[in-house]
Structure 1
Amino acid sequence: MNIPAHIDERIDMMEECEKKEAWEKLKKTDNVYVVIPTIDGLNYKYDCLQSNIKMYTLQSLKFSSPYYHKVNEIYQKYDFILDKGFFDANIHQNEYDTVYVTEKTRETANKICRDIDERIEELSKKKNNI
């Protein structure tokens, strides 16, 4: 996963600390493992966005947009999202819908991206008009 320029800037803005060098490595590597939300986590994020999107700043939305677009790609591509619960055998056979990606879940992933992009566009227009 390539790190977008605004993440580079965010790392650059960090105060000097013992671990700043480790953060600098993040900017220079593609060797990054990215965790995606579970189906329940995706639904929770969508609910949060619906009620709180007006409170997000333009910078935070631009920061999260590439991540949720990547998550959306994964949800559109795969039929199952297996998480820790599956591998720890905590999922009962009747809880199939916690790992199976339905059309409704795919649409939720699309809506998250669409809502973020629309809000970025709206805030960018306001910023340019000021």
Structure 2
Amino acid sequence: MAGEPSFFEIGVADPERGRAFYGALFGWNLEAGPGGDGFTIGTGGLPGGMHGGGENASPYLFFRVDDMDAAMVRVRELGGSVEDIGEGGQEDPDSVARFGRFTLCRDDQGSPFGLHQPPWA
């Protein structure tokens, strides 16, 4: 079903410090992510990820969609915006095969959220 939360992402300045903090706080299992520049987060519930380089980043909640391209069009139709995907507009095929497609958006008031099309969708 589309629309339910399907993934969360935490941006931090230093992923190793974030791993230590959130792992100790919540007992999460954080394993090296694709490309080695962050972590996948095993919570026992909603899956997540952590990336570095986000001095002022905040957590993002991603909502499941069945068709990413159609969902991005609909966000724009409703007055929202969609951020560019990946480097040069290209998604990493290995990451897509493992985790699905992701994109960050803003609603018509500027609030951030994400869209996630799981690999099985």
TM-score tier, shorter chain, comes to under 0.3
| Greater radius of gyration (CA) | 1
Structure with more helix by fraction: 1
Query: Relative contact order (alpha carbons < 8 A, sep ≥ 6): 1 or 2 greater?
Result: 1
- What TM-score, normalized by structure 2, do the two folds share? 0.23
- What TM-score, normalized by structure 1, do the two folds share? 0.22
Structure with more strand by fraction: 2
